[in-house]
Amino acid sequence: MGKPMADTVFIALQNNHEAQPVIEAIVEDNPDAVVNESPGMVKIDAPGRLVVKRETVEAKIGRAYDLQELQINLISLAGNLHEDEDELVLEWNN
């Protein structure tokens, strides 16, 4: 089917209290990201690359954070996923 227009990647999370600090961290670390909020979901689109940094999430929530916890509120994502204990990166491989 091919890649989305302009190589946009996205992550969609549940719109709840638990996910808000994660969303704030993603927005802080991805200044080109566009946030689309609806009652049940927050979708964050980014041109080319989107990163979720453990360190930034921890600063927002005030405790240790395992990036695997993201899956609890994850609805969907688009892009090739690269993950280690410090970062989750979405981008399209060329």
Question: What is the set of domains in the chain, with CATH numbers?
Answer: 5-91 (3.90.56.10)
Query: DSSP state, 79?
Result: S
Task: Decide: 45 and 9 in contact? Cβ < 8 Å.
Answer: yes
CA distance 1 to 83: 24
| Averaged confidence pLDDT in the chain | 93
pLDDT band at 92 (very low <50, low <70, confident <90, very high): very high
- pLDDT of 60 > 50? The answer is yes
Residue 56 has pLDDT above 80, yes or no: yes
Strand order in the sheet with 80-83: 49-53, 87-91, 80-83
Q: pLDDT at position 93, please?
A: 84
Mean pLDDT computed over 88-93: 94
Backbone angles phi, psi at 75, to 5 degrees: -100, -50
Which pTM was predicted?
0.90
Alpha-carbon span 67 to 48, nearest angstrom:
21
50 vs 12: CA distance, rounded Å? 12
pLDDT for 36 beyond 90: yes
